[in-house]
Amino acid sequence: MKKGWKIALISLGSLLGLIIIVVVVACWLIFTPARLTSIVNKLSDKYILCENHFGNVDLTLFKTFPNVGLEVHDVVLINPYDKPDSGVAQGMILSDTLASVGTLTVGIDVKEFLSNKNIVVRQVCLDDAQANLYTSPEGWSNLDIFPKSEKDTTESETRLPDTIQIEKVKINNLSARYCNLQQSLQAAAENLNLTLKGDMVNKDIDADLSLEVAKLLVDMHDNMHVAAQDLDLSAKGDWTDSKADAKLSLDMAHLLFGMNDSLGRSTLTADVDKVDLALKGQGPKNNMEGRLDLTLPKGNVTLGGKAYTTQAMNNSRHDLLAMQLPFHADLDDKSLSLADAVVSLLEYAINLDGSVSLPNEGRPMHVDMAYRTDRWQVADLIAVLPPFITKSLKGMNVDGRLSLDGKAVGDVAEGQLPLVNADVLFEKGTFSAPKMLPMPVKKIGAKMTANLNLSSDAAHKGPSKVKIDYLNARAENTDLSVSGTVDDLLGKDMLVDAVVKGDINLPDLKAFLPDTMPIALQGTTKADIKVKSRLSAITKLDLAKVHADGTLKFADLDVTYDSIHAQSRLLDMAVKLPANPSNKNVKELIGAHIQGGKLDVQMVNKNLTASVADPDIKVGLPNILDKNQPLAAAFDVSFSKVNADMDSMTVYSDTLKLKGSVRNDKSQDNPLKQWHPDVDIDLHRAVLAMDNMSEAVRMPSFRFNYKPEVCEIADADIRWGVSDYHLSGKVYGVEDWLSHKAMLRGDVYFSSQYADIDQLLGILSGMGSDKDTLALQRQEDNVPKEANPFIVPKDVNVTLHTNIDRCIAFENDLNQLGGTVTVNDGVAVLDQIGFTCKAARMQLTAIYKSPRVNHLFAGIDFHLLDITVEELIDMVPSVDTLVPMLKAFKGRADFHLAAECNLDAFYKPKMSTLLGAAAITGKDLVVLDNETISDIAKLLQFKNWREHDNNIGVDSISVEATVFRKEIVVYPFLLNLHNYQLCVGGRHTLDNACNYHLELIKCPLPVRLAVDVNGSLSKPKIGLGKVQYAELYKPEKRDEVQTRTLELKKMIRQALESNVK
């Protein structure tokens, strides 16, 4: 630099300095504090209506440079008012002092003042200020201290000026109270420090704000309270119509926030420490990039009186709540999008990606937000959650890893909320609840997707559902898995449509059954069951509203229930709910179909063992859980190769089919009435063997049906030894008979090609009798145990219609046996059994009664028509006893016999009860030659009475005989022997004594001769006797005795012949 220039610059500087000094000195001399104070006080009285005081007013240049400043000390504004009686918040102290400022510094633009005479305030600084602002309920404010201008008299809309420029506003140590009773708003701040600078030009804002408050209280409308300590707010940024660049940070050492409802009840409280909020945004307003960070390390929050935070949360090393929300905002569109945003409750973070649009130009708020969580450890989460959320888990131990991944999309408006989708993944779960589950569940894994419609109005309301991809669990040695859907998730009653599959270890089920149930289970089953039902039906076990369809495949099944033991290596069971109706007697709800290879059953206390092959069991049950419905079952059962042993009995059947129903009525007194069986039973190729039977009974087919009160034998084909029996018919009143209320009635058809009646009676003997009563009778009658007579049931009335081609009965061969056998209340009646044997056509009516074991009754009404005499004697040997002379005849005769006798327990006749009558009619007989006949003929002077073949012809014979006890009486009868007519009569006894009389009624000689046969029948004494019957067959000459004799003969014969059909 040249020396000349140097000297010039120094001189110019010295000149400027001198000028400045002169100006400052001049100002100091002209604008002295006293003068300025005087000016301000004069002006304040003009412009301030309330009592005011301005202490020392000083001019400052350097503090407000480059502006000229006024520094006012001890500013006081006093505006008294009537203190309200109520409505003032606690801690709010009302004072007449409107404001008190230690130092007020105002910087004024000198240039603007000098050039345009405008007072432009560039800077305002307050130090050590206090303010008390009050608005009465009527709207009067102590702030109305300035006189109204003419402009103020006309009502005009208050609006911000187009340009605001604040170089500096600074407040140090302000304590202020604001009480607006008109708007129910009160606030207080202590030790408030504020720095603000910025400007607003045509809505373009450039501001820098710093606010510190030691204590801040806000009370709005008596239902919102805010108390903050050490609040530190910093805001800085540019804000134009098109873009923004702003930062906001807010720290609070402590924040207490509360909201009440109109009744004063707390709806929300938040008591948090160290609130740290940072918000920044930058860029065009339609694509602003920003970020919000919020940290709440500790705190307590209640909603509706319920604590949503716990001590465990506050003890966590993680922040109670943390948010990192990077965003892009379109302020014009009022929309916000998040990318990689994170909201964390403790360590449980939710990642957010998506957008939120606020209502704009008729468009409702719209959300399109994806969310995703990490894998949360459920046990840890439950441990920190508030009790009211986890109270339903009391007594349960749940753990596992849970993660959520989903999206919320949709509008938010009145009654409308976004559709929420959630993919739920649960891994490595465990569950135990000793009071609910007898065993812990482990290896729980689930994957499911939920679609939730949270809208409540009808236009947008829709279904919410969960799709379960899988839900697996393992308990002991049992694995279960569930897949399917749950519809109406948020409705009153969810609809579950699921498939349950499982590998079930049957012993594991024992733990679910009552300890008192005497059951043991072995084996496994594979379950595959589809279930569709409302959740309420499942939880209430309302089976009527549950649909289920599936199979259970049992393997190595071994079940013992009480004394019943069942085994099967493979058994499949299909279940269906509701069941397909199969029987009108049962309201079927539960259907089961069991099929398998082989099933073995043992009943230990019944000595019963049974095995069946190919079991095919269809069972339909009503709602067994409905106590108002009687227990019932419909069934259709089929077995093959049935083999059963019980005590001394063995049963085998190629096939056994049972179809029908049972229905329980506990009020009844016998098993049949208690169960009302209606069943068809069908046996094919069955064999029954018993130890006391020499031969097994074979049943090629056996079908019968039992309905209440009626047992119908549809078709019973039975083979026993050489006999065959075919039965059909009905038996009535079985149930009342078992209750001893009525007799058992029956009408049964019995046919056979060959029947061994003796064998049949042997097996039927004693059946159906009361064993105790029989035992007592045997004891009273001193009946030896070797005696086992047939005892006829006393309360049975069964009619057996017989049709037997050929049979053996009492060692006689009989053919074409037909008639009825009736067992009626202790009486067995063979009623008019018609049959033919090799000798004759026969008809038999027999009665058998067993009033006492040692006093049996047997009676017969026996007719043999067109029989040869020798066959008659061969077939009925007792005829020879009744009519000894009959064996002397040859030829055919009709024979009628009615007799009865009581028997002892060995079937030995009690002769004192023997009572019988017989009639024999024969034609064209021949008298066989024998010594007795010859002797008699010689005595009667018979000559030339033999036929050419040396036999004696008899034209006709009509004999009536009676037997009573040991005496047989043969009533006089006529014998026409060629040229002779003989009358024979007499009696003999069973001990072989006889008194017979033979009298010649007609002969070629004119003599009347008679012969008496007395003594022993085997060796009789034969001699001439007195004529007795000469007038017997001459009505006009017979005497009273002879007349009565013939009447008796007629009476005996008519009584006998009246029974011939």
Among 32, 650, 913, 958, binds another protein (CB under 8 A): 913
Q: What's the CA gap between 710 and 1012, in Å, rounded? A: 65
Closer to another protein at the Cβ: 366 or 1053? 1053
Q: What's the CA gap between 382 and 389, in Å, rounded? A: 9
| Radius of gyration of the chain, Cα coordinates, nearest whole angstrom | 63
**Helix H or strand E encompassing 42:** helix 33-47
Give the interface segment with another protein, choosing from 382-390, 628-636, 690-698, 1053-1061 (CB under 8 A). 1053-1061
Nearest-approach distance from CB 899 to another protein, in angstroms: 7
| Nearest CA-CA partner of 485 in 475, 497, 470, 499 | 497
323 beta partners: 294, 343
Give the interface segment with another protein, choosing from 52-60, 314-322, 694-702, 845-853 (CB under 8 A). 845-853
Q: Does 915 bind another protein (CB under 8 A)?
A: yes
Q: Does 845 bind another protein (CB under 8 A)?
A: yes
Nearest-approach distance from CB 701 to another protein, in angstroms: 39
The 343-382 site mask, x for binding another protein (CB under 8 A), equals ----------------------------------------
Nearest-approach distance from CB 861 to another protein, in angstroms: 5
Nearest-approach distance from CB 911 to another protein, in angstroms: 7
Q: How many residues bind another protein (CB under 8 A)?
A: 36
The structure tokens listed for 38 are: 């005087």
Q: Does 850 bind another protein (CB under 8 A)?
A: no
Q: Does 797 bind another protein (CB under 8 A)?
A: no
301 Rama sector, left if φ>0, alpha if ψ -120 to 50, beta otherwise: beta
Q: What's the CA gap between 186 and 96, in Å, rounded? A: 17
**Four-CA torsion 142, 144, 145, 148, nearest 10 degrees:** -170
- Placement of tokens 């029954």 in the chain: 688
| Nearest CA-CA partner of 91 in 239, 216, 272 | 216
Nearest-approach distance from CB 668 to another protein, in angstroms: 38
Nearest-approach distance from CB 1055 to another protein, in angstroms: 5
- Give counts: helices (H), strands (E), the chain: 17, 52
Cβ atoms of 672 and 663 closer than 8 Å: no
Closer to another protein at the Cβ: 596 or 859? 859
Closer to another protein at the Cβ: 203 or 1050? 1050
180 Rama sector, left if φ>0, alpha if ψ -120 to 50, beta otherwise: beta
What are the helix (H) ranges across 750-884? Answer: 757-764, 771-780, 869-875, 878-882
Q: What's the CA gap between 729 and 713, in Å, rounded? A: 5
| Nearest CA-CA partner of 523 in 565, 556, 477 | 556
Q: What's the CA gap between 556 and 526, in Å, rounded? A: 12
Task: Say how far residue 1009 (Cα) sits from the centre of its chain.
Answer: 104
The 670-699 site mask, x for binding another protein (CB under 8 A), equals ------------------------------
Nearest-approach distance from CB 746 to another protein, in angstroms: 23
Closer to another protein at the Cβ: 745 or 988? 988
Contact positions with another protein (CB under 8 A) in 580-599? none
Nearest-approach distance from CB 855 to another protein, in angstroms: 6
Q: Does 912 bind another protein (CB under 8 A)?
A: yes
Among 254, 375, 526, 910, binds another protein (CB under 8 A): 910
Among 900, 935, 955, 1031, binds another protein (CB under 8 A): 900
Contact positions with another protein (CB under 8 A) in 851-880? 851, 854-855, 857, 859-861
The structure tokens listed for 697 are: 């009974």
**Helix H or strand E encompassing 913:** strand 909-927
Geometric angle at alpha carbon 788, from 783 and 789, rounded to 5°? 100
Contact positions with another protein (CB under 8 A) in 1018-1047? 1044
Among 898, 927, 970, 1001, binds another protein (CB under 8 A): 898
Among 847, 864, 959, 982, binds another protein (CB under 8 A): 847
Among 717, 904, 955, 1031, binds another protein (CB under 8 A): 904
- Say if strands 298-303 and 288-296 run parallel, antiparallel, or are unpaired: unpaired
Closer to another protein at the Cβ: 174 or 963? 963
Give the interface segment with another protein, choosing from 400-408, 645-653, 684-692, 899-907 (CB under 8 A). 899-907
Give the interface segment with another protein, choosing from 93-101, 154-162, 234-242, 911-919 (CB under 8 A). 911-919
Nearest-approach distance from CB 1033 to another protein, in angstroms: 19
- Placement of tokens 């009946």 in the chain: 783
Geometric angle at alpha carbon 784, from 780 and 788, rounded to 5°? 100
- Say if strands 121-135 and 163-180 run parallel, antiparallel, or are unpaired: parallel
Cβ atoms of 585 and 661 closer than 8 Å: yes
Q: What's the CA gap between 197 and 308, in Å, rounded? A: 42
The 732-771 site mask, x for binding another protein (CB under 8 A), equals ----------------------------------------
State whether residue 838 is helix, strand or coil. coil
The 8-class DSSP code of residue 118 comes to -
Nearest-approach distance from CB 1051 to another protein, in angstroms: 6
Q: Does 1052 bind another protein (CB under 8 A)?
A: yes
Q: Does 883 bind another protein (CB under 8 A)?
A: no
Nearest-approach distance from CB 913 to another protein, in angstroms: 6
Q: What's the CA gap between 984 and 1029, in Å, rounded? A: 9
The structure tokens listed for 945 are: 């009475």
Nearest-approach distance from CB 878 to another protein, in angstroms: 14
Closer to another protein at the Cβ: 415 or 909? 909
Nearest-approach distance from CB 850 to another protein, in angstroms: 12
Q: Does 964 bind another protein (CB under 8 A)?
A: yes
The structure tokens listed for 938 are: 């010689």
Give the interface segment with another protein, choosing from 57-65, 448-456, 473-481, 1049-1057 (CB under 8 A). 1049-1057
The 924-963 site mask, x for binding another protein (CB under 8 A), equals --------------------------------------xx
The structure tokens listed for 428 are: 């490595």
Closer to another protein at the Cβ: 288 or 879? 879
Q: Does 184 bind another protein (CB under 8 A)?
A: no
- Say if strands 723-732 and 710-720 run parallel, antiparallel, or are unpaired: antiparallel
Contact positions with another protein (CB under 8 A) in 765-784? 781
Contact positions with another protein (CB under 8 A) in 976-995? 987, 995
Nearest-approach distance from CB 972 to another protein, in angstroms: 12
Counting beta carbons within 10 angstroms of the beta carbon of residue 551, is it exposed (0 to 12), middle (13 to 18) or buried (19 or more)? middle
Q: What's the CA gap between 527 and 549, in Å, rounded? A: 11
Half-sphere exposure of 531 (CA within 13 A, CB side): 23
Counting beta carbons within 10 angstroms of the beta carbon of residue 875, is it exposed (0 to 12), middle (13 to 18) or buried (19 or more)? buried
Give the interface segment with another protein, choosing from 155-163, 523-531, 900-908, 1001-1009 (CB under 8 A). 900-908
Q: Is the dihedral of CA 809, 814, 816, 818 positive or negative?
A: negative
Residues engaged in binding another protein (CB under 8 A): 781, 845, 847, 851, 854-855, 857, 859-861, 898-900, 902, 904, 910-913, 915-917, 962-965, 987, 995, 1044, 1048, 1051-1052, 1055-1056, 1058-1059
